[in-house]
Structure 1
Amino acid sequence: MRAVLPNAITAAALCSGLTGIRFAIDGNWSMAVFAILLAGMLDGIDGRIARLLKAQSRFGAELDSLADSLSFGTAPAIVLFLWALHDLPRFGWFASLAFAICCALRLARFNARIDLDDQPHKSAGFLTGVPAPVGAGLAFLPLFLWQATGEAEFRHPVLVTVWLAIVAFLMISNLPTLSWSSIRPRRHIRLEAIALAGLVFAALLTEPWWTLAVLSIIYLVLMPYAFVNYGKIRRQRAAAKQPAA
């Protein structure tokens, strides 16, 4: 059961992500997004549960990557195409394909590097490129804003096409991005951090679309901070390696 439980959670995440496509076919955009977000939450805990139960395996890692490719690459691409991009069939479909392919390429790159010791971003507590679940959330930013405001401009196929292409590029880029290991609140503000987390959860219950949109924008704003902070760590390491005069 130790080996079955984390893989069962991964399978549940896969089913949740693909169910988002079914809701999108019915035009239920809220449930489509919710299903993919639920897949993201399940994806966030399966690896931790595997480490907690000491049930890590190569099979689990491969299954997780395959599930991520479908839940955070294929499913968002199809949902966004059915939502807005079908009005621009050629370029809209190409943008959807680009997003799904870039998600698969990112996960393949991650698997190829999983056993390498020389990973500068990982050793410094950063990720390389935007992770797949976050990329899916960022891709839905126009949909979040459309649900929150009701403005038809956010559903414009050209806008969504350009935005989807940008997010696809960020997923396969070599930019250092924040990871949970790089977020270390100081001891004297940990109570405030807990309170903030509670308020964010309450905001998700009361104003989910505005909250999701704001969280996506905050992540985008923090990307330059991650780039600058990684550059600082890299310079410090380079200075430490120089021989003493």
Structure 2
Amino acid sequence: MSCPGFGEVNIPSSRAFWDDCEEDEFENVGQAEKLQLKFDGESGQNVAALQSEILVVVEGPSVTHFGSSVLLNGTKRICGIPPKTSSLHWNPTSKQLLAVLEDDLTSSGEVTELLLPYAKLAKKAVTITLKSKVDFKSEEIQKYSDDIAIVRGVGVNGTDTTELEAPNFIAGVAAGIASWRNQADLPVSSFVVYTDKLPLDSTAAQPVLKLLKAVGVSCSPSYVPARKESSYLYM
């Protein structure tokens, strides 16, 4: 099964796993809990009908502190997004919806479905995925050895961002939102930032901040990482 421009999903056809299981093994298996958005205060159904000028999805490992530090000024938290510390925020002045998502591929399909009501109503959508630089595949990889970050995109015509080339791909909720809007002929731009430092530090954050400003998202000019309680340095 393929989605033009966003990679490929491989679905195994083998029944070997199921054939090795006894029927009674499934008798005590409970139904998996359905993920739900955790609305704050008196939010709820009224929030789901919000029509934003732009929906911004920022997804990556340990991205919560970065999002709360540089993006959420002037925004109101709408709800928590399972299963980790992800959250959705609304800026009433700019009419921007901002989803800050901790990277978790095991639940990305369900989370994508939870965010689809917002994705359907947004006039524009931008996704930004943070990945480690070692995940970037290129025959000219040595060319980027001194770069702080490598920025690539899908559906970013008219910008100075290079198109994401195979075998690199976008995954997670960002891919789900982008694929759905692409299939629905709704405008969407997706970016991948391959950085040499995750979680982001003050230097590695600069290319991300520059990208956010380029796509029209208000953010702080700099980022100060959370202080670690221990350096894990032993004498």
TM range (shorter): under 0.3
- What TM-score do the two structures reach when normalised by structure 1? 0.25
Higher relative contact order structure (alpha carbons within 8 Å, sequence separation ≥ 6): 2
Report which of the two has the higher share of helix. Answer: 1
